[in-house]
Structure 1
Amino acid sequence: MSKNNRKMTNARLLSEYEDIFRCPICSNPIEVVNLRSLICYNHHCFDISKQGYVNLLSHPPKTKYDKKLFKSRKMFSQSGFFDPLIAQVCENMLEDLKPTSDTIKILDAGCGEGSHLSKIQQRIIEQSQCNLLGIGVDISKEGINVASMSPSKTIWCVADLAKCPLNDKQFNFLLNILSPSNYSEFHRILADDGMVIKVIPESKYLQELRGIFYNQTDRTEYSNENTLELFNRNFDLVDIQRVQYVVTMESKYIKQLVHMTPLSWGASEELIQQVLSKNKLEITFDFSVLLGKKMKAHRSIN
């Protein structure tokens, strides 16, 4: 699909679902004008890019996540290394789906380059035949730029989760996969009967890299206790599921993994090269999938 066709297709999708959005500056309703821009009642204007995504940030953020990282992550994901995790997330969503003629809306909050959301949408549609809309939001323009190349029925937005440009109680499912959270905004935009699915790393996640990069330091150990406690304070924890598996990774995938993980940021160049020089490496994937519902108190006040 050419950039112009992609822009028109995505702009029409934005126009169809413009009532989901609100202005990130003044919180007023926002509408698509001439399939070119989103404009609110106070005339704050956000242009639709050539790639078809919309940038709803008022100023660019400072971030270490660059194009190389997101391209590596996309190739890595397309190679199937996250598929067991994706399968578990989809299983939970399918179990929670209720028969409806309405569009099922999924938000991936902190979607990065969009691979997880695209795969999840594809699986859910194949197994349920429901009318599904995905919205991917990330603060990184580089990530959303890569994500917007996806052919799926998805709206991609550059936006700040701390001031989310989405209206109240819009989403049946809110995904937050290996990404920071903003629970006050999550409560606001999640439907009362919706489900939040948060994926966090467990203690053995990428332990082989951690052992090489941070040998004999306190960073060889990882604990998610604080993250789990914070989730528990904000949502009714319906279930917590462990997904753990080990893969033997060849050289080209080792390079993609090193380039995509923030674990490499604090490692010396010598240790990074030590990993990159390996022809094969066993890598452990270890996650907890947290399933949450709104607490009754929040349902009554939202």
Structure 2
Amino acid sequence: MGALSKRAAGAALMEKNITVFACPICKKPMLVHEQGRLECSMHHSFDIAKQGYVNMLTQGATSKYSKDLFESRKAIIDSGIYDLLEEKILERIAAAKIVLDTGCGEGSHLARIMAHREGIGIGIDIAKEGILAAARHYPQQIWCVGDLAKSPFAKTSFDAILNILSPANYEEFKRLLVPGGCVIKVVPQSGYLQELRTQLYADSAKETYSNEQTVERFRESFADVIVERVTYTVPLASELVPALLEMTPMGWHKSDEAKISLHEITIDVDVLVGKV
């Protein structure tokens, strides 16, 4: 028997983990129908694409993130500059079997974290281009175009939720987590990408950054909160500088005349861990 198509393989993974899904329109449980779509008892259905992902948006959505951005993001993450951060996250979710990555982009963080452990990772992002790339590169996980404001997931479905340098929906996180489950949110600290910030924003208010309000809101939203700062500096190959500029909002406003010279880059983040 030949290898499954990407659509069939994606459908099989979804069917194996079907209890995590709920119709984003009526909240009824979902079933995989003929390996081609997810469908609820009210006959709301969502096609599984030939690339193996499912689009569960209930209305059109626009994203400012392009295919080029996600390719750049993958190149930067694959270079290893986030390895130490991913190791810290892995330590925090060691016992989790079902992990949701919210705002997963092209899926590199989730795929790299899940590669070292048992269980299934499910990534959701409103940007179709990101999910397309995720499904293409990482078919071992489940990928979903969707919006947590109209969630395609059932309550108490996930042991851990990742939210890495991405907007959050804390009320939905609490609905989706099993009792005792945890949220891992990664937010920039003052030194994050400081070499780039210094060159782009020299002598302006944007040269400095504070995450104080974000951390405080997280503390108010979850119990048993732990805040761990992870900071280190790693070499950056010159050919990766354009990719770094492409993937970070800091680089989007660079003038054509600005000359950026980077030989190393600092990762400086707070890893926020909260439980329900």
> Is the TM value for this pair above 0.5?
yes
Taking the TM superposition and a 5 Å limit, the aligned residue runs for 1:134-153 are 134-151=121-138, 153=140
2:197 partner amino acid: R
Q: Which runs of 5+ in 2 are unaligned?
A: none
CA distance in 2, matches of 1:45, 1:84: 40
Partner secondary structure for residue 231 of structure 2 = strand
Distance 1:76-1:14 versus aligned 2 partners, 3 A rule: same
Query: In structure 2, what is the equivalent of residue 16 of structure 1?
Result: 16
Greater fraction helix: 1
Q: CA deviation at 1:216?
A: 2.0
Structure-2 change in CA distance of 1:23 and 1:16 (3 Å) = same
Equivalent residues of 1:3, 1:51 under 8 A apart: no
1:297 is matched with which residue?
none
Q: How far apart in 2 are the matches of 1:170 and 1:192?
A: 10
In structure 2, the partner of 1:29 is: 29
Alignment match of 1:161 (pick from 140, 143, 148)? 148
Give per-residue Cα distances to partners, 1:245-269, cap 9 Å, x unaligned. Answer: 1122121111111111111123322
Which deviations, in whole Å up to 9, do the C-alpha atoms of 1:44-90 show, x marking residues without a partner? Answer: 22100010000001223222100000011111111111101001111
Contact 1:175 1:197 in 2 (8 A): yes
What residue number does 2:86 align with?
A: 86
3-state SS, counterpart of residue 179 of structure 1: coil
* TM, length-normalised to structure 2: 0.95
The whole-number CA distance in structure 1 between the counterparts of 2:202 and 2:138 is: 42
Q: Aligned letter for 1:142?
A: E
| C-alpha separation in 1, matches of 2:207 and 2:243 | 21
Q: Separation in 2 of the partners of 1:225 and 1:258?
A: 25
Partner of residue 114, structure 2? 121
Answer yes or no: is the 8 Å Cα contact 2:86–2:109 preserved in 1: yes
Give 1:200's aligned residue: 187
SS of residue matched to 1:148: helix
Q: CA deviation at 1:167?
A: 0.4
* Corresponding residue number in structure 2 for 1:289: 271
Q: Counterpart amino acid of 2:273?
A: L
The Cα of 1:27 is off from its aligned counterpart by 1.4
1:267-302 CA-partner distances (Å, limit 9, x unpaired): 32222xx11xx3x422111011111111xxxxxxxx
Across the aligned residues of Structure 1 and Structure 2, the Cα RMSD in angstroms comes to: 1.7
Contact 1:202 1:224 in 2 (8 A): yes
Task: Among all aligned residue pairs of Structure 1 and Structure 2, give the percentage whose two residues are the same amino acid.
Answer: 44
The CA distance in 1 between the partners of 2:47 and 2:3, in whole Å, is: 15
CA distance in 1, matches of 2:70, 2:213: 27
Structure 1: 5+ residue runs without aligned partners? 99-103, 295-302
Change beyond 3 A, Cα 1:151–1:114: closer
Matched, 1:110 2:92: no
Q: State the secondary structure of the residue aligned to 1:267.
A: coil
Inter-partner Cα distance in structure 2 for 1:116 and 1:3: 26
Alpha-carbon contact 2:245-2:252 (below 8 Å) kept: no
Q: CA offset at residue 3 of structure 1?
A: 10
